[in-house]
Amino acid sequence: MTTLITKDEILDKNEVLKMAIEAGWPDSLVAPIIMAKLHDFAKVVADVASAKEREACAKVCEDKCPGQSLIYVMAMADCAEAIRARGNPHQGGTHECS
């Protein structure tokens, strides 16, 4: 069974803090209120990046289909659908491939 990673699990606040420090943020910008907003922003960035990666992977599946047998095309379409569904747990995001 496929397990979804929630956006809260992608980056925790300590990871965001560590990245800010590694990026050279001055101490004055690493205040708790700023870090909370930065964490929210990092979640949005992670969501967008994950959605783009899922779509790219799904397109790889679809691009492998031309000229193939019907069963192969159906299997690749199912895989593309499963990849896309991972981004929406309310619409089949726990899709299993068997």
- Which residues lie closer than 8 Å to 42 by C-beta, 6 or more apart? 11, 16, 19
The pLDDT assigned to 52 comes to: 92
The per-residue pLDDT for 44 is: 86
Report, as ranges of residue numbers, the positions in the chain whose pLDDT lies below 70: 1-11, 65, 89-98
- Directed axis angle between helix 32-63 and helix 70-85, to 10°? 170
pLDDT at 2: 39
Domain-by-domain residue ranges, the chain?
Answer: 7-91
